[in-house]
Amino acid sequence: MNTPEASFLTWQQQFRTNKDCLQYLKEMKWPNGFMCPQCGHDNGIDLHCRELTECSLHINIQPDHLITLMPIT
């Protein structure tokens, strides 16, 4: 990645939150949108609990993780 230098003040203004920083990194890594390095699939799923994007064809969610997502009735 070849990025221009920025002053600390400019950097603070551009990346006010972690979300701003993650969005910038995604745009640098995938300027034309998400692309799976394994299969070339262009549909990614954002896993906010781990702050990463997984290929929707390769995602592996274990059943015990689904339990925490279900509402308790």
CA distances from 20 to 23, 27, 37, 71 (A): 5, 11, 24, 30
Closest among 16, 54, 49 to 35, alpha carbons compared: 54
Predicted confidence (pLDDT) per residue in 11-64, tens digit = 888 889 988 888 888 888 889 988 888 888 888 888 777 777 777 787 655 444
The per-residue pLDDT for 38 is 83
Q: Is residue 46 within 8 Å of 39, Cβ to Cβ? A: no
The per-residue pLDDT for 12 is 85
The model's pTM is 0.58
Q: Is the pLDDT of residue 4 over 80?
A: no
Q: Is the pLDDT of residue 8 over 60?
A: yes
Name beta bridge partners: 52. Answer: 47
